[in-house]
Chain A
Amino acid sequence: MRPGTLIALLGLALAATLCWSLMVGAVPVRIGVVLNTLFGLDGPRQDFIITRSRLPRGLLAALTGGALALSGAIIQTILRNDLASPKIIGINAGAALGVLTASLLLPKLSASYLPLAAAVGAALAAGLVFLLFELRAVSSARLILIGVALGLFFEAIVDFLLITVPGAAVSGPLIWLTGSLWERGWPELSLIWLPLTVLFAITGLLSYRLDLLRLGRAQAVGLGVRVRRERLVLLTLATMLAALSVSVVGVMGFVGLMAPHLARALVGWRHRLLLPAAGLIGAILVTFADATGRIIAPPAEISAGILTAFIGAPFFIVILWRNRREVQP
């Protein structure tokens, strides 16, 4: 099948998943009621559930899923390792630490500041990784290790705070750590849709650069690419994409790791195709996981971040198993 057709099909799948997510949850809503509510028609409506809860939530899930997937795709290309992900440049742990620190040390702070704290924490963590990397500037392998080490360190501090600060275990931060869209709505969406869209556009424009970087340092330099600078720009892009996502929906560990893999299996390496495909797959994944989490044991909700890991892990393992003899480009 032609890659263009595949991407169109993915787009349709996303639309279908979004529609489905509007209908399912602790309160099942028939398609007729959904349409009534969305288009202001006569008949039974569910204003809060559809327009204030599920619609913004679905859109948020799609946006953040796409952003995480793109971030993962960029990182995997730049570090030339298909096991890399936003997690390994310390973003998830940094964001978690930012949120926890803010909410525990400044409890009077309004909850609407927490996304900011998360973004700051994530950016700081990634920045620290890059700084340390620049100090030793040897290879992407080292960057990965530094990111993993820093991530583990921040996670240790998060665990320390969770255990020792009273009341931490029952409040929001713990839920947020599992990657949940509970209570997320228009306020969070309006915070990030514009920056994310801009970042999506920029990423798309840099597709060709990513293709060149994938060829490897020597070839890229030979083709006139200022490798170090471009790598830094792209990594910053990836950081911002992931940080913005994590700041509103929490830590979703698997999306950035997995979506690029699936996309690559479908459409190949060319980033003009890979990026849209990965973005769509990420969006579908998170939207589907969020909706599914609502219907497994209502009225309890299972966090999307947990479900993306559970759904994704088998796929991931199968793909890695099949590729285990593949040589890294």
Chain B
Amino acid sequence: MMVQRLSISALTGTIILAGAVFSLATGGRADVGAAEIWQALTGPGQGVALTILQDIRLPRSLAAGLLGMTLGVSGLILQTITLNPLASPAILGINQGAAVGMIGALIWPGLLAPEWLSIAAALVAGFVTFAISGGLAGRIDPMRLVLGGVAVGTFAYAAVRFTFTLDDVLAQQVLRWTVGDIADLRWSAVVRLAAIGLPALALSFALAHRLNLMALGPVGSQSLGHDPRLTLILGLILAAVLCGVSVSVAGPIAFIGLIAPHIARRLIGGDHRGLMPTTALCGAGVMLLADGFSKWLLAPLEAPVGVISALIGAPWFLWLTLRAKELH
């Protein structure tokens, strides 16, 4: 048991470390690679490498890690409260809803801070998906959930694609952003992410016990005196907040919320008290690796990290659908 625990921690730690190294070692300048970063970290550190490390790569990698955590936990909550292992912010249309919020903030700056508009829109999208799938009555049909999410996502995406027909400067900004891009995140973005994301994560961890009960299914949990509706609403709000703040900082990044919980469950099992932190860490690891790939794949150009996560995550999702047991 101890050995198993240790090896799991070791594995998770290795993934994250590898991801962190990969993420920090790649970037727009080929001459600032792993060796230079190491020197900057350990040695007296001078010049360009140190500046790049401090000002650009550290905050970016840190942001990637935080995003992985928030998106991963958001996905876990959604999977549990919908009793559907294939749920995630993107599939339920919540990501796309947040994207609409951000576009709104771009078009009407000054209406509301982008983060809050994004979160608000994410909440609306999630609410609609839940309503469609019967969540308001307390019983969620998993198929209607996925399809309702697709419908909401389609609508939100039409709103996003609408901006392509507008002013071409705006269109250019939107296009790059809608796939999820962390290229120019600095410490200010990290602060914004942490300010909202960390408390939300903490609250999510506090919800772990309720989520465990939720996972027992409606009958089992109610016999233990648990009210699924409350957990549903709390979970949805937290998931929307986590997703909304992520989208407002980096755009809609898909599939982290799907992959991270699955990896974590494989490692540590279904008890949310341990599963949540593990999911957060796995999400961070995956995002860091994806970030490294996004910079390394087409160097010196960058592929936005959202595209990389989708290219990895979509086949994974496909594989899951082929393997998953019946949803009902």
Q: Does A303 contact B (CB under 8 A)?
A: yes
Q: Does A15 contact B (CB under 8 A)?
A: no
Q: Does A47 contact B (CB under 8 A)?
A: no
Please, what's the 1-or-0 string for A285-311, where 1 marks a CB less than 8 Å from any CB in chain B? 000000000000000111101100110
Q: Please, which residues of chain B bring their CB within 8 A of the CB of A306? A: 158-159, 161-162, 165
| Residue among B136, B137, B164 with the highest chain A CB neighbour number at 10 A | B164
Q: Does A6 contact B (CB under 8 A)?
A: no
Query: Which partner residue on chain B sits nearest A305 by CB separation?
Result: B158
Q: Please, which residues of chain B bring their CB within 8 A of the CB of A84? A: 147
Q: CA of A169 to CA of B298 in the docked complex: distance in angstroms? A: 18
Whether A302 and B321, one on each chain, are in contact in the complex, defined by CB atoms closer than 8 angstroms, is no
Q: When the two chains form the complex, which single residue of A144, A162, A253 contacts B154, counting CB atoms closer than 8 Å?
A: A253
Q: Does B318 contact A (CB under 8 A)?
A: yes
Please, what's the 1-or-0 string for A123-140, where 1 marks a CB less than 8 Å from any CB in chain B? 000000000100110110
A144 with B146, Cβ < 8 A, contacts A316-B151, A317-B128 known: yes
Please, what's the 1-or-0 string for B280-303, where 1 marks a CB less than 8 Å from any CB in chain A? 000000000000000000100101
Q: Please, which residues of chain A bring their CB within 8 A of the CB of B175? A: 162-163, 169
Q: Does B304 contact A (CB under 8 A)?
A: yes
Stretch at the interface among A146-154, A212-220, A236-244, A269-277: A146-154
Q: Does A108 contact B (CB under 8 A)?
A: no
Q: Please, which residues of chain B bring their CB within 8 A of the CB of A321? A: 131-132
Q: Please, which residues of chain B bring their CB within 8 A of the CB of A136? A: 322
Give chain A interface residues in 203-238, CB to chain B under 8 Å.
Answer: none
Q: Does A320 contact B (CB under 8 A)?
A: yes
Whether B315 and A153, one on each chain, are in contact in the complex, defined by CB atoms closer than 8 angstroms, is yes
Please, what's the 1-or-0 string for B307-328, where 1 marks a CB less than 8 Å from any CB in chain A? 1001101110110111010111
Q: Does A257 contact B (CB under 8 A)?
A: yes
Q: Please, which residues of chain B bring their CB within 8 A of the CB of A254? A: 154-155, 158
Q: Does A249 contact B (CB under 8 A)?
A: no
A177 with B86, Cβ < 8 A, contacts A81-B143, A144-B143, A159-B310 known: no
Q: CA of A144 to CA of B327 in the docked complex: distance in angstroms? A: 12
Q: CA of A147 to CA of B24 in the docked complex: distance in angstroms? A: 37
Whether B132 and A145, one on each chain, are in contact in the complex, defined by CB atoms closer than 8 angstroms, is no
Whether A163 and B314, one on each chain, are in contact in the complex, defined by CB atoms closer than 8 angstroms, is no
Q: Does A142 contact B (CB under 8 A)?
A: yes
Q: Does B265 contact A (CB under 8 A)?
A: no
Q: Does A189 contact B (CB under 8 A)?
A: no
Q: Please, which residues of chain B bring their CB within 8 A of the CB of A178? A: 158, 161-162, 164-165
Q: Does B51 contact A (CB under 8 A)?
A: no
Whether A146 and B322, one on each chain, are in contact in the complex, defined by CB atoms closer than 8 angstroms, is yes
Q: How far, in Å, is A168 (CB) from chain B's closest CB?
A: 10
Q: Please, which residues of chain B bring their CB within 8 A of the CB of A162? A: 175
Q: Please, which residues of chain A bring their CB within 8 A of the CB of B161? A: 177-178, 303, 305-306
Q: CA of A316 to CA of B176 in the docked complex: distance in angstroms? A: 30
Whether B91 and A148, one on each chain, are in contact in the complex, defined by CB atoms closer than 8 angstroms, is yes
Q: Does A156 contact B (CB under 8 A)?
A: yes
Query: Which partner residue on chain A sits nearest B179 by CB separation?
Result: A159
Give the total of B residues in contact with A, Cβ under 8 Å: 53
Whether B315 and A144, one on each chain, are in contact in the complex, defined by CB atoms closer than 8 angstroms, is no
Q: Please, which residues of chain B bring their CB within 8 A of the CB of A104? A: none
Q: Does A35 contact B (CB under 8 A)?
A: no
Q: CA of A253 to CA of B175 in the docked complex: distance in angstroms? A: 19
Q: CA of A306 to CA of B159 in the docked complex: distance in angstroms? A: 7
Whether A156 and B310, one on each chain, are in contact in the complex, defined by CB atoms closer than 8 angstroms, is yes
Whether A152 and B254, one on each chain, are in contact in the complex, defined by CB atoms closer than 8 angstroms, is yes
Whether B151 and A257, one on each chain, are in contact in the complex, defined by CB atoms closer than 8 angstroms, is yes
Q: Does A266 contact B (CB under 8 A)?
A: no
The majority secondary structure among interface residues of chain A is helix
A300 with B165, Cβ < 8 A, contacts A148-B150, A313-B155 known: yes
Whether B137 and A153, one on each chain, are in contact in the complex, defined by CB atoms closer than 8 angstroms, is no
Q: CA of A169 to CA of B170 in the docked complex: distance in angstroms? A: 13
Whether A320 and B132, one on each chain, are in contact in the complex, defined by CB atoms closer than 8 angstroms, is yes
Q: Does A110 contact B (CB under 8 A)?
A: no
Q: CA of A301 to CA of B134 in the docked complex: distance in angstroms? A: 38
Q: Does B148 contact A (CB under 8 A)?
A: yes
Q: Does A283 contact B (CB under 8 A)?
A: no
Query: Which partner residue on chain A sits nearest B319 by CB separation?
Result: A149
| Residue among B150, B301, B315 with the highest chain A CB neighbour number at 10 A | B150
Give chain A interface residues in 45-98, CB to chain B under 8 Å.
Answer: 81, 83-85, 87-88
Q: Please, which residues of chain B bring their CB within 8 A of the CB of A146? A: 318, 321-322
Q: How far, in Å, is A260 (CB) from chain B's closest CB?
A: 13
Q: CA of A142 to CA of B147 in the docked complex: distance in angstroms? A: 12
Q: Does B7 contact A (CB under 8 A)?
A: no
Q: Does B172 contact A (CB under 8 A)?
A: yes
Q: Does B144 contact A (CB under 8 A)?
A: yes
Q: When the two chains form the complex, which single residue of B137, B176, B301 contacts A325, counting CB atoms closer than 8 Å?
A: B137
Q: CA of A253 to CA of B154 in the docked complex: distance in angstroms? A: 7
Q: Does A324 contact B (CB under 8 A)?
A: yes
Q: Please, which residues of chain B bring their CB within 8 A of the CB of A302? A: 162, 165
Please, what's the 1-or-0 string for B190-228, where 1 marks a CB less than 8 Å from any CB in chain A? 000000000000000000000000000000000000000
Whether A144 and B147, one on each chain, are in contact in the complex, defined by CB atoms closer than 8 angstroms, is yes
Q: A84-B147, A141-B327, A144-B147 are in contact. List 17 more A-B contacts (CB 8 A).
A: A81-B147, A83-B143, A87-B154, A88-B147, A135-B322, A141-B143, A141-B326, A145-B146, A148-B91, A148-B146, A149-B317, A160-B310, A175-B164, A178-B161, A303-B165, A313-B155, A324-B137
> What are the nearest 7 A-B pairs in CB distance?
A83-B147, A156-B310, A153-B314, A309-B158, A145-B321, A149-B318, A253-B154
Supply 18 A–B pairs (Cβ within 8 Å), ascending by A.
A88-B147, A136-B322, A148-B146, A148-B147, A152-B317, A153-B318, A159-B179, A160-B307, A163-B176, A163-B179, A178-B158, A178-B161, A253-B158, A254-B155, A306-B158, A310-B158, A325-B137, A328-B141
